[in-house]
Amino acid sequence: MAKKNVAVLGAGMMGTGIAQLFASKGHKVMLIYVYDDKVRAKPLETMRGNLQVLVDQGVINQSQVEETINNVSFTEDLKEAAEFADVIFECIVENLAVKQDYFKTLDELCPPSTILASNTSAISITEIAEKSVHKDRIIGTHYWNPAYLIPLVEVIRTKYVSEETEKAMFELLEGAGKKPVLVKKDVPGFLANRLQHALFREAISIVENDIADPKDVDDAIKYGFGMRLGVMAPMEVIDNAGTDLTLSIHKYLFPHIENSTEPSKMLVEKVEKGDLGFKTGKGFQEWTEEEIAASRKNLTEGLIKVAKALDRL
């Protein structure tokens, strides 16, 4: 497939990661600064840092760093980006009105063939498209952080999107080495966040009810079924074990697990007290600056090792 010109609206962490991804695959990429991205986010420095980690881990060589960087340009002019791009990925503030206005403007500026995609993790893609005219070319593409490492991209249908847009997006993502999955209904949380936060709800409930400490909850996942999830995930596990066995377990277990439709009181109290996790050095556990830095480093390096082992990088 011919390489597309890719523009990314918003040069924060996610926008920079998406730009890096496509630039590393040979696409010409234009990062569009919004607000104070240029000063606050420092996308070029961030990209170089990300790429150097990949060099250090033996994933790419030093010459590929410059090849990737040379594929990236920067602008603050939406008209310039609209004239350049075959596809635009939006990665800005999680505010419906702001997103609607940007998409309306881009819809007016871009040729009808340009695909417009939102990376929102929470807001309805259908609602984001409401102020635009060419709603058929607007689609959801929810990447996972770090976008240049985690293969998954959730592709979210709206009630307006065309099959041509959906097909073209799948081809683009697969060509860039991503693993797109189709979310057939534009529902809150899409697909993976619904699964993730169902797990978070039970994890917090276990701590809140003094069944286990936070570290033991994490270790039970890291050293238990979490290791299996990258190879055999829930629907396959169920079929492997047997739907009859799963039904028996659910009949016994479901009355005892968390089913609240409200956030945990313990979580609310922590936020009210200012225990915000890494941001403040204390959340469900206490964290020193050194431990925070080590955790983040371990995440990046660990993801690279897992991706290498599973041939997903």
Report, as residue numbers or ranges, the catalytic residues.
121, 142, 154, 193
Residues paired with 152 in a beta bridge: 179
Dist CA 79 CA 114 (whole Å): 13
My answer on whether omega of the bond before 146 falls inside 30° of 0, hence cis, is yes
Residue 114 to residues 9, 12, 71, 306, Cα–Cα distance (Å): 14, 23, 20, 35
Residue 29 · residue 8 · CB < 8 Å: yes
CA distance linking residue 16 with residue 50, whole number of Å: 10
List, in order, residues 6 or more apart from 113 with CB less than 8 Å away: 86, 137
Show the DSSP H helices in the chain as ranges: 13-24, 37-40, 43-56, 62-70, 78-84, 96-109, 125-128, 163-175, 192-208, 214-222, 225-229, 234-241, 243-253, 265-273, 289-309
Q: What are the backbone angles phi and psi of residue 204, rounded to the nearest 5°?
A: -65, -40
Residue 136 near residue 116, CB atoms below 8 Å: no
Cα–Cα dist 166/153, whole Å: 13
Token pair 């079929």 is found at 239
